[in-house]
Amino acid sequence: MLENAKRWVNPINTSNKAKKIRRSMMAGLATFAVAVLLFAQIVLSADEAKMPAQESLYARSAALIDGDTGRLLYGKEEDVILPMASTTKIMTCILVLEMMEPEEICTASAYAASQPQVHLGVQKGWSFRCEDLLYSLMLESHNDTAVILAEAAAGSVEGFATWMNKKAKEIGLSQTHFVTPNGLDNEAHYTTARELALLLRYCIRTSPKSKEFLKITRTTQYEFTDTTGKYSFSVYNHNAFLQMMDGALTGKTGFTGKAGYCYVGALERDGRLYIVSLLACGWPGNKSYKWADTKKLMNYGLSAYETKKLETPAVPKMSASVIDGVYDWTKQTKSQVKLICPDAPDKYQVLAKDGEKIEIQIRARKELASPVLEDEVCGEVSFWLSEVCLGTYPIYPEQAVDKRAFVWYIMRVLSLLL
């Protein structure tokens, strides 16, 4: 009986031990799985922080910039001149916002109605509110809408192109030229990846209509009618990047047979603004290439750069001689004045990689004509992070210096005789 009891008890004990072993194994496997995931994340993060090889990008030309300073963070043939397709419409949009009121009425001409697809499908004489057409322009990229707006703002497409090029010059885009408001192929219509990114930066950060621009380009769906109410329209946002990454802010797609797929978009996260632009990023059959490149460059920016407080180099001691200026002959042999830069900051908060440093550039006059005033600008100090100027500050004399008068010369002669 006892032996039978042992036989009965042992299986129970064995089962409990097996359960404990299984639990231990499961816990071990779970720990191992977590470790693998953490390792994979570390490896992925390290890979993303590496500068993407140029051949790994589909785009012929690409740029990643710091949206706050405009500094180039990554470039692939970023200064090569290429067509830009419908990314042109970010300039059309911001210029119309700055030139017109939302309630102004815009009427379609025969030329506007003749524009090729993608189009709203207007007919000559149809009229719309300016604001409604801006949603058509930016959400659906309608070519006829671009012409209607251009003609309403400047009287003609040619006149509007003049304003587009004037604005480009104001922004500092020296390798960009506009001919059309919609970006249809034209030999004289071009930009570079770097300058396209800088244009979007203007739309987001600098333009007095930046809030309106973001409101339009971030809208998912919009409905409107012509001014008679007879024709109704619904437009939808085709910027898929807005749903691809946390912090995706705005952007514009483009395509023509010559330009290929193009894109310019922005992402804002943790107070950092990144802008990516891509030109010639594949042709039909490769529509997703632009999204792959955009995510790769955005992830690189997020991983490789962070907001840092970088110290500025100390402003060195400076002085300038003063022509015919008074001086204390008991202490000096000639008239000199110390130069100072009181407004120079000690630090800048910038987007930077580990090891990057701010550099200083100084332009100061070595000679001043008397009299010298305390508020006289004698030069400037500028601070640079790679090719971007972070700030420029005036140099002043530490004190005013009077011009020598007859009495000063008499006193000087007497001092030599006594």
Q: What confidence tens digit (pLDDT) does each residue in 188-232 have?
A: 999 999 999 999 999 999 999 999 999 999 999 999 999 999 999
Q: How far apart are CA 357 and CA 84, in angstroms?
A: 34
pLDDT (mean) for 30-56: 60
Contact, 377 vs 353, CB < 8 A?
Answer: no
Domain 57-304 falls in which CATH fold?
Beta-lactamase (3.40.710)
Tokens of 52: 């993407």
Asked if residues 142 and 252 have their Cβ atoms less than 8 Å apart, the reply is no
Measure the N-to-C terminal CA separation of the chain; round to a whole number of Å: 136
Give the pLDDT confidence of 74-84 residue by residue, as tens digits: 999 999 999 99
Q: Where are the domains of the chain?
A: 57-304, 311-417
Q: Can you name the residues that pair with 178 across neighbouring β-strands?
A: none
pLDDT, average across residues 78-106 = 98
Element (H, E) at 197: helix 193-201
Residue 31 pLDDT > 90 = no
> What is the predicted pLDDT for the residue at 23?
61
- Provide the pairing of β-strand 359-364 with 379-385: antiparallel
The structure tokens listed for 400 are 């005013």
pLDDT above 90: residue 9 = no
Q: Among the CATH numbers 2.60.40.1930, 3.10.690.10, 2.60.410.10, 3.40.50.2000, which is that of 311-417? A: 2.60.410.10
Residues 6+ apart with CB under 8 A from 319: 336, 337, 338, 339
The whole-chain average pLDDT of the chain stands at 89
Phi, psi of 350 (to 5 degrees): -140, 165
| 3-class secondary structure, 258 | coil
149-163 pLDDT, tens digit each: 999 999 999 999 999
Q: Report the distance separating Cα 206 and Cα 184, nearest Å.
A: 27
pTM of the model as a whole:
0.82
pLDDT at 12 over 60: no
For residues 378 and 370, is the Cβ–Cβ distance under 8 A? no
Is residue 389 within 8 Å of residue 380, measured between CB atoms?
no
